Amino acid sequence: MRDTGGGQIIQVISNSGLSGGFGQSNYAAAKAGMLGLQRTWVLALARYGIRCNAFWPIAATEMTQVVFDIAAKQAANEGKPAPAPAELGFGQPHEVAEGLLFLASDAASHWNGQVLTFNGRRTALWSAPAETHITYRDQAMTREELAAHYAGISPETHYQPVFVP
């Protein structure tokens, strides 16, 4: 890509890398690592015209079938019909592929370092990690001063995906 004047790397990631996944520590760590790799590539490869973006597809696949099985079991226990994948926020693979095709198209040629999620009907961009509540002092702070500083500041909230029991 460097020799031809640029290109694009699109990584396929997962919600697990963005917000964790119960019982999926290894998978979540691998997907989160991909995002760290992406941020590094953005810094290192932009000068060669190489962009790096990530795509989080939300599609009904064999891998996500467990979600539908659990939802169907819960619905049956409540005497209700099983919800369709779309009702649980999942698109069909051919619908979700449109998001990947968009990301690879000229319409997104100005994007670099972005994380796009898409389920066929709902789309969003994820923001990169950023500092908040920044304070600087000329002298080193003690733990007591840190405690006083943060006493009135609530911790940052973490995205919690909807879990279908």
Cα separation, 100 vs 81, whole angstroms: 32
Asked about 159 being catalytic, the answer comes back as no
The backbone region for 151, taken as left when phi is positive above 0, alpha when psi lies in -120 to 50, beta otherwise, is alpha
Answer for the pair 54, 13: CB distance below 8 angstroms, yes or no: yes
Answer for the pair 119, 126: CB distance below 8 angstroms, yes or no: no
3-state helix, strand, coil in the chain (%, to 5): 40, 15, 45
Catalytic residues: 27
